[in-house]
Amino acid sequence: MGGINGQDYTNSLEAWELNYKRGYRVFEVDLRVLDDATLVCSHSQPDELTVGEYEATRTVGGYTPLTVTNLAELMARYPDAWVMTDVKPGGLREHEKILRTLQSALSGDPTSKSRIIVQTYSEGDCMVAHKLGFENIVYTLYRQKPQDFPRGIAFAAKNNIRFVAMPKETVTRELVRQAELRHLWVGVHTVNTEAERADYEKLGVTHFYSDFLRP
């Protein structure tokens, strides 16, 4: 949801509202499942919490935690906002379950699903997202070895995925060139200074994940 008061990863209502006012319209959200099967917006909350316990907590700094139901309400309230998913640890089956749960939560607003950008981590994840009818997919490569990034770029192009993402430490002009030749956008994470952004733009990077930069 972006940073707030110098803090990142809050996934909070307040972070959404602040960064929307700053001009952001794409919000990455961390998604994980609690032990009672509730899908929540959280980077590192203990999974063993119940939803009641989760909703009664506050993030570091005292911010309001969100469930997937709250996220759906925000998307309905802010019809020009997009959400990029970041599924926390889990295999292919759990990723599919989380996407199905998200899809169900959004069913009351016909426009919301078209404003979801699914971040995928493997070729299998990409196939699941396609199967569930998500149109906007990012193939993020950080769970792979850098030497395998060219294969990931080629896979994205072959499967009509327009956006690949990678950690900023792994970006090279050659990787960006390979993406450009296939008409793909390249995003890097996480960039929090204007000097860094300028350096990566010189390499041809077009999109940035950030906690604190102005859009």
Q: Do 113 and 170 have their domain in common? A: no
**pLDDT above 80 (res 102):** yes
**Same domain flag for 2 and 87:** yes
Q: Do 192 and 101 share a structural domain?
A: no
In a domain, 196, yes or no: yes
Q: Does any domain span residue 113?
A: yes
Statement: residue 157 has pLDDT above 80? yes
Tell me, yes or no, whether 162 and 92 share the same domain: no
For residues 180 and 204, the answer to whether their CB atoms sit within 8 Å is yes
What's the rounded Cα separation, in Å, for the pair 167 and 179?
Answer: 15
- The whole domain housing 109 covers 1-140
How many domains does one find in the chain?
2
Between the ranges 53-57, 80-84, 87-91, 110-114, where is the mean pLDDT highest? 80-84
Tell me what pLDDT residue 8 has: 93
- pLDDT single digits (tens) 177-195: 999 999 999 999 999 999 9
**How many percent of the chain have pLDDT more than 90?**
85
- 50 and 100 together in one domain: yes
Q: What is the CATH number of the domain that holds 125?
A: 3.20.20.190
**102 and 159 inside one domain:** no
Please check whether residues 215 and 120 belong to one and the same domain. no
**Final residue belonging to a domain, choices 119, 140, 161:** 140
